[in-house]
Amino acid sequence: MSVTHEFRRGLEFDVAALEQHLNLHLPEFKGPLHIRQFPGGQSNPTYRLDTPNTSYVLRRKPPGVLLPSAHAVDREYRVMHALAVHTDFPVAKPLLLCEDPTVIGTAFFVMQYVDGRIFWDPALPELSRESRQVVFSNMVDTLADLHAIDYRKIGLADYGRPEGYVARQVVRWSKQYAVDAEAAGRVPAMEQLIEWLPKNAPTFEPAPSLVHGDYRLDNMMFDVDASRVVAVLDWELSTLGDPIADFAYHLMMYRMPSGGVRGLQGIDLKELGIPVEKDYVARYCTRLGLEGLPDLEYYMAFCLFRLAGICHGIAGRVQRGTAVSPEAKKYAAQVAPLAELALKTALRV
């Protein structure tokens, strides 16, 4: 994330107004302020703020017409603050939340700047075989550690409805699909899944935990030699819910092809030093003291459906002109392939 550029068109804001606000509300802030935008961030535009003494990161809602529950920067701020203050979980410390849209046009929060590396391809072509093993171990261990946190003890008992997570998510993404259908188009496999998923839900639901909601390699930052996770990023979809669903969403990288939305399907994992799926699942279970993951294939079908729904939403934003990432069109093109993979997985359950 060290690569930045000037504001993308339509995502500019009044730098002087922000600097004035930070002078008033952020202790130890001292300008002048120089701002550049990060290229990532499918949902909430993200900026690097540099001053003579330190650097910060600003994350804001995008401008334009937004879906009511989307782009919840206040929720991101809350969960990151709880983790930073009460745990040693790797997260950038949030410093200031501003919900007043008159300052820079939309709500935003400012967090600590963390220096590190982000990897976009789970095959990790830029790393050695040994380093890939370390990255995969750290990825799964970090997620298991998140699921082991007692969310009540860190002030997040009311952060979401703990029970019925998967059922609510199916309803949520089914409704969001319908909202975006006019702009993004109809997808037959999505509509079959909307009917299949509620009818085939598992009867057993694990104990709820804090879930990230979008846990994947490129939402993690590693130190310079890739030996340690220094921050987990992008908490917009976090809530209380089903940890197995959260893990299965992360596990999708094993099922998705190496083109498009980056995955590991069709790659020689042994040659690369990457654990196979069953060993990766076993490490997660061992870390949490679980004997296994019942109904994993259902969870995989659900998560692929959910990812297809997220991409469908991005396609809707592309059509409405509110997409903030230059890669939005690429993600939008993955809706049908992901939905068809989800349906094939469902029909094997």
What band does 13 get if pLDDT is binned at 50, 70 and 90? confident
Q: Which residues contact 150 (CB under 8 A, 6 or more apart)?
A: none
Closest to 251 (Cα-Cα) out of 216, 295, 219: 216
Average pLDDT value for residue range 131-141: 98
Distance of CA 36 to the CA centre of its chain: 22
The per-residue pLDDT for 330 is 80
What band does 328 get if pLDDT is binned at 50, 70 and 90? confident
The per-residue pLDDT for 223 is 97
What whole-number distance in Å separates Cα of residue 231 and Cα of residue 228? 9
Q: Domains of the chain, with CATH numbers?
A: 15-112 (3.30.200.20), 129-348 (3.90.1200.10)
H helices present in 123-185, as ranges: 129-148, 165-184
**Both tokens assigned to 228:** 């340690």
pLDDT one-digit tens code per residue, 206-242: 999 999 999 999 999 999 999 999 999 999 999 999 9
Q: Which residues contact 176 (CB under 8 A, 6 or more apart)?
A: 67, 309, 312, 313
CA angle 309, 61, 20 (to 5 degrees): 170
Put simply, whether the predicted model's pTM sits higher than 0.95 gets the answer no
**Beta-carbon count within 10 A of 77 CB:** 23
The per-residue pLDDT for 66 is 52
Closest to 35 (Cα-Cα) out of 61, 13, 20, 53: 13
Average pLDDT value for residue range 76-91: 98
Cα separation values, 88 from 69, 169, 230, 259, Å: 29, 29, 11, 35
